[in-house]
Structures are given as C-alpha cells and as structure tokens.
Structure 1
Amino acid sequence: MQQSNAYIITFSVILTVFLGLLLSGTSQVLGPLQREAEALDKKKQILGAVISGEEISAMTPEEVNQYYTSRIASVVVDINGQEVTEQDGVAVSAETVDIAKNYKRPADQRLYPVFIYHAEGNSDDVESYIFPLYGAGLWDAIWGFIAIKTDMNTVGGITLAHAGETPGLGARITDPTVQSRYVGKTIFDESGELVAVEMQKGEGKDYTSNPHQIDGMSGATITGKGVNAMVKNYLEHYKAYIESKKSSQAVAAL
C-alpha cells in the first residue's frame, strides 16, 4: 500500500528526532568516560618521559593516577617564562591546556604547560622538568613530551607520538629504542646556544661522541626533520623559563 507524502514526512521527522535524542544521550553518557581516558593517556605520555613504558604498562589506571599525583606538580607559563594562571578571564592549569589548539595560536599567545617531576612527597626535591612538544610530521601531527634534568641541559627522556606517520618508517618515533637515543644528550652547546638535539638522516651510525645528535630512522627523513623542528621550536618557546631556572640555581649555589 502506497503511503501518503504526509505520512512519509511525519515518519522521517519522528525518526530524525529519535535518532538525535539517542545520539545526544549516548554522548552525555560516553563523554565523561572519553575525557577520562584522554586524561589518563596524557598522564602516561608525560610519565613516559621519566619512567619506562614497561613500568607504566604494569600499572592499573588507578596506580597511574596515584603515581602522577604523588610525583608531578605543574605550572603554566607564557613565552617569557612568566607563570600564567588565567587566559581570557578563565583559570588555566597545565593538565587542561590543549596543546593542539594552542599550536594554532601565534607562539607569543600560547600557553606553555610545565610538568615538574619530583621526589615522592616532596615537591621541592625536583628531578626533571617535562615540556610538551607539538609539530608536523610527514602526513599529520606529531607530538610528545621531553624531560630535561635539573641542570636544565641534559635530556632525561622523551615520548613521541603521531597521528598518521607511515608504519615501519616514520611511525617508529614511538619505538622505545628510537626514543632512548635522546637520553643523556644536551640541548645547549658550549657557548650557551640552544641547539637542541637533532635526529640525523639514515640509520646505523654512532653518535655517542656528539652531545647534540642521534641516529635517525631509515626511510623516514621527513618525519625525522619534523621531529627536529618540533623539539627545537618548543625548546625555544620554553627558553626563557629554562634560563630563569638556571639563573635561580646559580643564585642558590652562591
């Protein structure tokens, strides 16, 4: 039996409203769970710059949250190294700053979170400063966190991630072996210039004697260049903060 146009339109409207309400309800239910999962993943990436992935993998979500709370303090600074507590009248915290969204702003208008890794139960006993990184790889965004020891020069560790680099090639930036090459390298040269750490083209060479270079990844030159630019650019953005910490340490040592 052929239905009238009015029936078809009414049925379509009812179905559309029903599906809209269903999707809205699902979003309301799943939204908090998704945000919780994203926050947990971010904490794992931050901690991954100072402890091994194996340690993190062995932790339950509750243990990750507890460890993070007991070992990480945080502040937000601007490009001049000054602490920021609000932006556009809204309170900000390091944990809630969206690095990807901030990346779209001019560098001098961004918020720069600093995560401070300290001894358990003693926020004054700092072991490393962890800085977020964000940039572009071959196909899509790349990001990570780099830990700098309290001399404000030596790399303690790094975590790197990507949105769509080539499997087996550029995607290897997530490989712990590749990331471990950064450990012990230094970001300032002997003259005090910020040179960061550069991944070299090709793979299989020994850069042990060079404090600012690491072995590259075969077949992933463009991704490597993206990582180099990302690390250098963001360390430059944090340079004022890093220099202020070095100055504070020098005064304290007098």
Structure 2
Amino acid sequence: MQQSNTYIIVYSAVLTIILGLLLSGSAQVLGPWQQEAIALDKKKQIMGAVISAEEIAVMTPEQVNQFYSNNIASTVVDINGEEITEGGVTAEKVEVAKDYKKPADQRAYPVYIFHAEGNPNEVKSYIFPLYGAGLWDAIWGYIALDTDMNTIGGITLAHAAETPGLGARITEGEVQARYVGKQIFDESGELVAVQMMKGEGKDYSSDLHKVDGMSGATITGNGVNNMLKAYLSHYEAYIKAKSSQSAVAGL
C-alpha cells in the first residue's frame, strides 16, 4: 500500500532520532573504554623508549599500568626549561598533537622520567615526546636520553599513514635500534641531533650523529630528521640544565 508523504517524512524523522540516540548512547558507554585504550597505548609508547617491545608485548594492561606507575614520573616544562606548576597541567594531559599547531614558545612540553622501581630519585633516563610530518601524514614518537643528557638510550617512532614497506618501517625495531648509543650534541656542545641518511646499507657505526636510512623512504627519513632536531631544540634549555646538574652532582 502506498504511504503518504507525511507518513514517510514522520517515519524517517523518528528513525533518525532513534538512531541518533543509539549512537549517542554508545558513545557515552564506549567513551571511557576508548580513553583508557588511548592512555594505555601512550604508556606503551613511552615505555618502549626504555624497555624492549618484546617485554611490553607480553604485559597485560594491568602490568603496563603497574610498571608505568612504579617506574615513570613526569613533569611539564616550557621552552625555557622551566617547570610549569600552575593551571593543573600534567604531562599525561598534554596533547602534543594539538600543541604542535601552536607557536613553539606557547606550547607545554611533557617530560617523562624513567627511574628505579619505586625510587624517583634514582633516575635512569629522561623521555621526550616527538611530533612532526612524514610523507603523507603525522609522525611521532618518544626519545630517551641517558642521564648524561646526550646519549640516546632508545626511541619509539610511529606514523599515521606512511607507505607500507617504505616509510612505515620507522616502526620497526631494527630501524629504531640504529639510534641507540648515538649522541645529540657534538664535541663543541652544539645540538646537531641525529640524521637518518639517504639510502640504505651503509655503515655509520663510527659516526655519533648519523644512522643508516631506509630505501625508497627519503621524505619520511627527512621528516624524522626534522622532527628530532625541532623537538630536541624545544627541550634544549631543559636538557642543558639537567646536564649541568648531573655534572655538578658528579663532582
């Protein structure tokens, strides 16, 4: 039987409202779970700069949270290296991707401090977020510096849409391992970071500031280089302050 136009309009409107309510309700129910999953993934990426991916892979969510709570402290600094103590800002609340759109001197910079279990005073390394642009979309990661504030202890890299088998290889452990032991300052104390070179298959083991590249992924490699240099420069005041403190403590 043919329905009137009024019936069809009312039926469509009611159906739209019902579906809208169902979607809204689902978002309300699933929202906290999604936020927990995002927070858990972030903790894994931070931890990945200081412990192996294999160790993290076998951890339950509860174990990840426990390890993070027992071994990772955090603070937030400005571009001058001064801690931000006002406004209730915490490292975990800072959204680096959103702050990336602001001028560098207006951003909040999280610092994660890896320490001996249960002892924040026994610092093992400092972990700094990274964010930049790859070939197709955003790239990001975390870099850990040893307490000399110069030697790279580990790095995790991730991407939104780099090419599989090419730029997407920045997520591979073998590529990330190339950075371990490299240094971000040269002999004169200038911040030079670490450069991923063009091409692949060369030996840069004797060069503290270069790593082998990825075949067919020069633009992604350049994005990683730019990201490293930019974010390490944003943290440079904090890094040098901590380096000076470590030098004094060692006297």
Alignment pair present for 1:47 and 2:53: no
Aligned to 1:110: 107
TM-score normalised by the chain length of structure 1: 0.97
Please give the secondary structure, in 2, of the residue aligned with 1:190.
coil
Amino acid of the structure 2 residue aligned with 1:111: A
Q: Where has structure 1 moved over 4 Å in runs of 4 or more?
A: none
Aligned to 2:64: 64
1:228-239 map, 5 Å: 228-239=225-236
After superposition, what is the alpha-carbon deviation per residue over 1:212-233, rounded to whole angstroms, capped at 9, x for unaligned?
0000001100000000000010
Please give the secondary structure, in 2, of the residue aligned with 1:15.
helix
Amino acid of the structure 1 residue aligned with 2:60: T
Aligned to 2:18: 18
- d(CA) in 2 for partners of 1:3, 1:62: 56
Please give the secondary structure, in 1, of the residue aligned with 2:51.
coil
1:88-167 map, 5 Å: 90-167=87-164
- d(CA) in 2 for partners of 1:31, 1:240: 38
Aligned to 2:207: 210
After superposition, what is the alpha-carbon deviation per residue over 1:36-72, rounded to whole angstroms, capped at 9, x for unaligned?
0000000000000000000000111100000010000
Aligned to 1:242: 239
- d(CA) in 1 for partners of 2:161, 2:183: 29
Amino acid of the structure 1 residue aligned with 2:137: D
Please give the secondary structure, in 2, of the residue aligned with 1:50.
coil
- d(CA) in 2 for partners of 1:119, 1:47: 13
Amino acid of the structure 2 residue aligned with 1:239: E
1:176-195 map, 5 Å: 176-195=173-192
- d(CA) in 2 for partners of 1:105, 1:20: 34
- d(CA) in 2 for partners of 1:55, 1:32: 27
Please give the secondary structure, in 2, of the residue aligned with 1:182.
coil
Structure 1: give runs of 5+ residues left out of the alignment.
none
Is 11-20 or 138-147 further displaced after alignment? 11-20
TM-score normalised by the chain length of structure 2: 0.98
- d(CA) in 2 for partners of 1:207, 1:180: 13
- d(CA) in 1 for partners of 2:24, 2:88: 28
Please give the secondary structure, in 1, of the residue aligned with 2:124.
strand
Amino acid of the structure 1 residue aligned with 2:17: V
Amino acid of the structure 2 residue aligned with 1:126: V
**Aligned-pair distance for 1:252?**
2.5
Structure 2: give runs of 5+ residues left out of the alignment.
none
Please give the secondary structure, in 1, of the residue aligned with 2:22.
helix
After superposition, what is the alpha-carbon deviation per residue over 1:175-216, rounded to whole angstroms, capped at 9, x for unaligned?
000000000000000000000011000000000110000000
Aligned to 1:84: 84
- d(CA) in 2 for partners of 1:172, 1:58: 22
CA RMSD of aligned residues (A): 0.8
- Identity among equivalent positions (%) equals 73
